[in-house]
């Protein structure tokens, strides 16, 4: 008994220590930055006192970018759901050379630097109507960038369940294609769809590379505004901005995480 | 069993149904087969012989090569997809919906058929009771044992009152004991319902117990169609003989209406010459030296409870398997004599 718990104790403490170290590595800079957004004067330090002044200023000046970011993120989610889920389904049902090729092609925007993709978009569609000055231009970039993540996440779940047989079972009971898709395919891929949605939302809200090239002064998203404020304003404002960003993204992360846990299919 | 469970018995006819999958050899040679209404027919054969393919052609999950036709009664269903054929299907892996409860699984087909809710609830409950699943109605599929899942799969297929019930190795995933009890249950159910059923298996015991007729298949062809007795006692060829049960092969010669095996000469009708004879283990009897036809020594004795299976090595020729009923004290090395009943011996063509 004693040797067992001793041995486990050592391993346990080592593991705990390592985990905490990694966590600290990841979170300390974030916490520092958020704290900076709450201090009255960063150069004096915490003893200058805590204040919400900077946060208020960010909300006053940048609320437009926050709303636009959210608008683009949810529009992007809608697009990737409508495009990505059927794509994943088609790829899952027809495994073969062509399907693999399509999968690789879909990954292109992830592999190529965002700036290059953005340039390509501008060269190709920049002259089309008012698109260049519309938020839809950024949306197109975001959909291009996030779609593979949705497809991959859904495809992973579709590959882990025997979709063909489930569908054949539903068909044998008289269900046509649309009904099968709605009552059997979608519910059983729920965890993948939720995981994909989570990825898409967070990637879209935080996307900078593409967006920086695609944006105009009137279509500024949160990360672009963040870069501006870091470059041109007091460090406290930039940090307060980071704080706002976190407050926005973390609850949605937790929410989706919880949802995907509950929806995980148990086989 | 309530009257409402009695289903229409629709005959099935396959006409020249072959199947060639893209990029591979022909999986099924063109097949003609009539399944009578209310009959349980079993497709039996080794792995890869085309049983599932045939079943899927009947179901509508696979279409036969051009020229093939599938008829349910007088209706040509060749062009109909499975969802419009009104068949019930039980899959080897059950294909139950993990996102639904037991009751929802069973109700699925009724919902698709747009039955009013009260009628639906009544039929689901009736069916769950029939399959002894009443207490599991609210459970999720992953909270059921293998045997319970199997019964849900059957209930789900039957509740819609299909024209035909198709089962693809429905018991393979279960352990031996459960298999036996469920086999009896399925047998009782199929007889009670009077439904036309097609059952695929590679287990000859299952085939014997369930089939009104058995279709023995080999390499995409039908080797023999017949009742279990016909298949067992009059196998059409060496393949069927070997595949069903245990079969001994004996060499003999015929001369002038007499068959010579071992030391014996038995009356025999057939042309003169060497013949190969097939004998079941239970048709070889132990005898005294005076009555015996073949002498040999026991190479192995396996006690099986109700009988003892002996492997006897005759003075010449391949080893023979002999079943003896009752208490036998024979063991390795003992000398024995065997009697052959000419009425129970088959000569392979
Ligand atoms: N979709 C397919 N594509 C290509 N070949 C196939 C396909 N389905 C089956 N086959 C081939 O057809 C032949 C018959 O297959 P089938 O599934 O009917 O065999 P089976 O008798 O059911 O065997 P088992 O007892 O292993 O289930 C096999 O050689 C198999 O490899
Ligand atoms: Mg099979």
Residue minimizing CA distance to atom 4 of ligand 1: B21
Pocket, ligand 1, Cβ cutoff 6 A:
B 21, 24, 27, 45, 47-53, 202
Q: Whose CA is nearest to atom 30 of ligand 1?
A: B48
Same domain, B201 and B336: no
Q: What CATH number should be reported for the domain whose range is A52-261?
A: 1.10.3720.10
- Beta strands B87-90 and B196-201 are unpaired
- In A, residues 187-216, which contact B (CB 8 Å cutoff)? 187-188, 190
The radius of gyration of chain B from alpha carbons, rounded to an integer in Å, stands at: 25
Residue A187 is nearest to which of B82, B99, B142, comparing CB atoms?
Answer: B99
Contacts of A57 (CB under 8 A, 6+ apart): A237, A240
Distance of alpha carbon A4 from the chain centroid: 43
Is pLDDT of A260 > 70? no
Question: B297 with B312: CB under 8 angstroms?
Answer: yes
Q: How confident is the model at residue A105 (pLDDT cuts 50, 70, 90)?
A: confident
Most confident of A91-100, B117-126, B237-246, B297-306: B117-126
Q: How far apart are CA B43 and CA B224, in angstroms?
A: 10
Residues of A in contact with B87 (CB under 8 A): 172
Q: What is the pLDDT of residue B46?
A: 92
pLDDT for residue B318: 85
- A162 in reach of chain B (CB within 8 A): yes
Q: For residues B85 and B73, give the distance between their C-alpha atoms in angstroms, rounded to a whole number.
A: 12
Q: List the one residue out of B57, B60, B53 whose CA is nearest residue B24.
A: B53
Least confident window among A78-82, A111-115, B86-90: A111-115
pLDDT band at A32; cut points 50, 70, 90: confident
Question: Rounded mean pLDDT of B266-285?
Answer: 85
Q: How far does the CA of residue A171 sit from the closest CA of chain B (Å)?
A: 5
The pLDDT of residue A252 is above 80 = no
Q: What is the pLDDT of residue B155?
A: 92
Output phi, psi for B88, to 5 deg: -105, 135
CB–CB contact B95 A162 (8 Å): yes
What percent of chain B stands above pLDDT 90?
49
Residue A136 has pLDDT above 80, yes or no: yes
pLDDT at A110: 76
Which is higher by pLDDT, A225 or A147? A147
Q: Which residues in chain B are closer than 8 Å to A170, comparing Cβ atoms?
A: 97, 108
Check residue B222 and give its pLDDT.
94
What is the best residue among B25, B28, B49, B204 to mutate for testing ligand 1's pocket, by most ligand atoms within 8 Å of CB? B49
Which of A172, A174, A179 lies nearest to residue B59, judging by beta carbons?
A: A172
Q: Tell me which long-range contacts B229-233 makes (C-beta under 8 A, separation of at least 24).
A: B232/B208, B232/B280, B233/B346
The answer on B275 and B202 residing in a single domain is: no
**Same domain flag for B280 and B187:** no
B36-64 tens-digit pLDDT: 999 999 999 999 999 999 999 999 999 99
Q: How is chain A split into domains, by residue range?
A: 1-51, 52-261
User: How much is the average pLDDT of A151-155?
Assistant: 91
Averaged pLDDT of chain B: 88
Q: Quick one: which H or E segment has residue B61?
A: none
Residue A4 pLDDT more than 60? no
Ligand 1 atom at minimal distance to the Cα of residue B55: 18
C-alpha span between B262 and B336 (Å, rounded): 13
pLDDT at A1 over 50: no
Lowest-confidence segment of A24-33, B18-27, B193-202 by average pLDDT = A24-33
CATH label of the domain that carries residue B205: 3.40.50.300
B100 and B50 belong to one structural domain: yes
Query: Is B92's pLDDT higher than 70?
Result: yes
Do B98 and A188 lie within an 8 Å CB cutoff?
yes
Nearest to A115 by CA among A9, A8, A215: A215
Stretch among A16-20, A249-253, B170-174, B304-308 having the lowest mean pLDDT: A249-253
pLDDT band at residue B349, thresholds of 50, 70 and 90?
low
Interface of B with A in 158-217 (CB under 8 A): 160
Q: CA of A139: how far to CAs of A79, A154, A209, B137, B180, in Å?
A: 9, 21, 13, 47, 61
Q: Is residue B165 pLDDT above 90, yes or no?
A: yes
**Among B89, B98, B142, whose Cβ lies nearest the Cβ of A172?**
B89
Q: Does B275 share its domain with B140?
A: no
| Distance to chain B for A165, nearest Cα, Å | 6
The pLDDT-based confidence of A37 (bands split at 50, 70, 90) is confident
Among residues B209, B243, B277, which one ends one of the domains?
A: B243
For B88, nearest residue in chain A (alpha carbons) = A172
Instruction: Specify the ligand 1 atom closest to the Cα of B92.
Output: 27
- What total number of domains does chain B contain? 2
If asked whether residues B56 and B187 sit together in one domain, one would say: yes
Q: Quick check: B348 and B276 in contact, CB under 8 A? A: yes
β-strands B346-347, B248-255: how paired?
A: unpaired
Specify the pLDDT at position B293.
84
Range in A141-145, A146-150, A213-217, B274-278 with the lowest mean pLDDT: A213-217
pLDDT mean over A177-184: 94
pLDDT band at A117; cut points 50, 70, 90 = confident
- Give residue B6's pLDDT band: very low, low, confident or very high (50, 70, 90): low
Answer whether A165 sits within 8 Å of B91, measured CB to CB: yes
Same domain, B194 and B291: no
Mutation choice for ligand 1 from B50, B59, B62, B199, CB with most ligand atoms inside 8 A:
B50
Question: Ligand 1 centre from B55 Cα, in Å?
Answer: 11
| pLDDT mean across residues, chain A | 83
Question: Pick the residue with more confidence: A73 or A215?
Answer: A73
Q: Which residue of A has its CA nearest to B140?
A: A266
Which CATH number is B279's domain given? Answer: 2.40.50.140
Domain extent at residue B313: 248-348
Q: Cβ of A169 and B142 within 8 Å?
A: no
Give per-residue pLDDT as tens, B190-245: 888 889 999 999 888 899 989 999 999 999 999 999 999 999 988 888 889 888 88
Contact of B82 with chain A, judged by CB distance below 8 Å, is answered with yes
Same domain (yes/no): B120, B95: yes
pLDDT band at A265 (very low <50, low <70, confident <90, very high): very low
In ligand 1, which atom is closest to the CA atom of B62?
Answer: 1
ipTM exceeds 0.90: no
- Same-domain status, B170 and B304: no
Determine the residue of B27, B59, B61, B91 to mutate for testing ligand 1's pocket, defined as the one with the most ligand atoms within 8 A of the Cβ atom. B27
pLDDT at A266: 42
Distances (CA, A) of B29 to B42, B57, B72, B220, B236: 18, 13, 21, 5, 18
Q: What is the secondary structure of B92-138 as a DSSP string?
A: TT----TTSBHHHHHHHHHHHTT--HHHHHHHHHHHHHHTT-GGGTT
Q: What is the pLDDT of residue B117?
A: 93
Residue closest by Cα to atom 17 of ligand 1: B52
Ligand that comes closest to the CA of residue B18: 1
Same domain, B104 and B135: yes
Q: Which of A176, A183, A267 sits opposite B83 (nearest CB)?
A: A176
What was the pLDDT predicted at A261?
64
Which residue of A lies nearest to B113 if distances are taken between CA atoms?
Answer: A174
Which ligand is closest to the CA of B49, given by its number?
1
Q: How far is the CA of B46 from the centre of ligand 1 (A)?
A: 11
Judge whether residue A30 has pLDDT over 90: no
CA of A256 to the centre of ligand 1 (A): 42
Position A195 scores a pLDDT of: 86
For residue A74, the number of C-alpha atoms closer than 13 Å in the C-beta half-sphere is 7
Given this model, what pLDDT does residue B178 score?
80
Predicted confidence at residue B269, as pLDDT, reads: 80
- Please indicate whether residue A235 or residue B68 has the higher confidence score (pLDDT): B68
Going by pLDDT thresholds of 50, 70 and 90, the confidence category of residue A96 is confident
Report d(CA B223, CA A72) in Å as an integer.
Answer: 66
Highest mean pLDDT: which range of A12-16, B170-174, B215-219? B215-219
Mutation site for A-interface testing, chosen from B22, B60, B82, B95 by largest number of A Cβ within 10 Å = B95
User: Which of B227, B243, B259 is at the close of a domain?
Assistant: B243
Name the more confident of A107 and A88.
Answer: A88
In this structure, what token pair is assigned to residue A103?
Answer: 């999968």
pLDDT band for position A168 (50/70/90)?
A: very high
> Residue A267: what pLDDT?
37
CA of B21 to the centre of ligand 1 (A): 9
Report helix, strand and coil shares of chain B as percent, to nearest 5. 30, 35, 35
- Identify the domain boundary among B174, B208, B243: B243
Q: Are residues B110 and B215 in the same domain?
A: yes
Same domain, B214 and B267: no
For A189, the closest chain B residue by CA position comes to: B99
């Amino acid at each position: 008994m004693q040797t067992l718990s001793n041995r486990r104790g050592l391993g346990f403490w080592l593991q705990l220590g390592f985990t905490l170290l990694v966590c600290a590595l990841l979170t300390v800079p974030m916490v520092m930055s958020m704290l900076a957004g709450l201090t009255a004067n960063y150069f004096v330090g915490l003893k200058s006192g805590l204040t919400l002044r900077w946060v208020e200023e960010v909300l006053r000046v940048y609320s437009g970018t926050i709303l636009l970011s959210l608008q683009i993120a949810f529009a992007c989610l809608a697009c990737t759901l409508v495009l990505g889920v059927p794509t994943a389904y088609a790829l899952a049902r027809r495994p073969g050379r062509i399907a693999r090729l399509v999968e690789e092609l879909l990954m292109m925007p992830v592999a190529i630097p965002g700036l290059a993709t953005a340039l390509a978009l501008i060269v190709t569609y920049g002259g089309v109507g008012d698109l260049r000055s519309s938020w839809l231009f950024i949306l197109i970039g975001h959909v291009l960038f996030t779609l593979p993540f949705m497809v991959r996440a859904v495809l992973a779940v579709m590959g882990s369940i025997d979709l063909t047989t489930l569908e054949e079972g539903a068909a044998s009971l008289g269900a046509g294609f649309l009904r099968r898709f709605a009552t059997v395919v979608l519910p059983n891929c729920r965890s993948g769809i939720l995981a994909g949605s989570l990825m898409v939302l967070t990637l879209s809200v935080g996307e900078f590379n593409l967006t920086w090239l695609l944006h105009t002064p009137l279509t500024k998203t949160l990360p672009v505004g963040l870069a501006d404020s870091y470059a041109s304003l007091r460090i406290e404002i930039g940090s307060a901005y980071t704080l706002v960003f976190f407050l926005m993204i973390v609850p949605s992360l937790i929410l989706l995480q919880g949802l995907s846990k509950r929806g995980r299919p148990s086989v | 069993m309530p009257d409402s469970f009695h289903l229409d018995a629709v005959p099935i006819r396959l006409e020249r149904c072959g199947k060639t999958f893209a990029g591979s050899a022909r999986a099924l040679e063109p097949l003609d087969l009539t399944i009578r209404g209310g009959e349980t027919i079993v497709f039996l054969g080794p792995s890869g012989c085309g049983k599932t393919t045939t079943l899927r052609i009947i179901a509508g999950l696979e279409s036969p090569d051009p020229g093939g036709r599938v008829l349910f009664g007088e209706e040509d269903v060749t062009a109909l997809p499975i969802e419009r054929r009104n068949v019930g299907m039980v899959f080897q892996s059950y294909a139950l919906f993990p996102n639904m409860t037991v009751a929802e699984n069973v109700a699925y087909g009724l919902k698709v058929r747009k039955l009013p809710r009260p009628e639906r609830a009544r039929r689901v409950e009736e069916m769950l009771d029939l399959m002894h699943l009443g207490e599991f109605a609210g459970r999720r599929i992953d909270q059921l044992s293998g045997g319970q899942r199997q019964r849900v799969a059957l209930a789900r297929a039957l509740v819609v009152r299909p024209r035909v019930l198709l089962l693809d190795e429905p018991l393979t995933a279960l352990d031996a004991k459960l298999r036996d009890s469920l086999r009896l249950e399925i047998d009782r159910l199929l007889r009670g319902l009077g439904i036309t059923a097609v059952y695929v298996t590679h287990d000859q015991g299952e085939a014997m117990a369930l089939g009104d007729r058995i279709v023995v298949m080999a390499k995409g062809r039908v080797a023999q169609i017949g009742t279990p007795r016909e298949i067992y006692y009059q196998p059409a060829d060496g393949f069927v003989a070997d595949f069903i049960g245990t079969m001994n092969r004996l060499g003999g010669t015929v001369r002038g209406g007499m068959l010579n095996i071992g030391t014996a000469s038995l009356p025999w009708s057939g042309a003169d010459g060497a013949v190969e004879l097939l004998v079941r283990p239970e048709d070889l009897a132990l005898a005294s030296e005076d009555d015996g036809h073949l002498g040999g020594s026991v190479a192995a004795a396996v006690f099986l409870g109700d009988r003892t299976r002996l492997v006897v090595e005759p003075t010449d020729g391949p080893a023979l398997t002999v079943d003896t009923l009752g208490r036998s004290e024979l063991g390795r090395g003992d000398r024995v004599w065997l009697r052959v009943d000419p009425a129970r011996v088959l000569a392979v063509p």
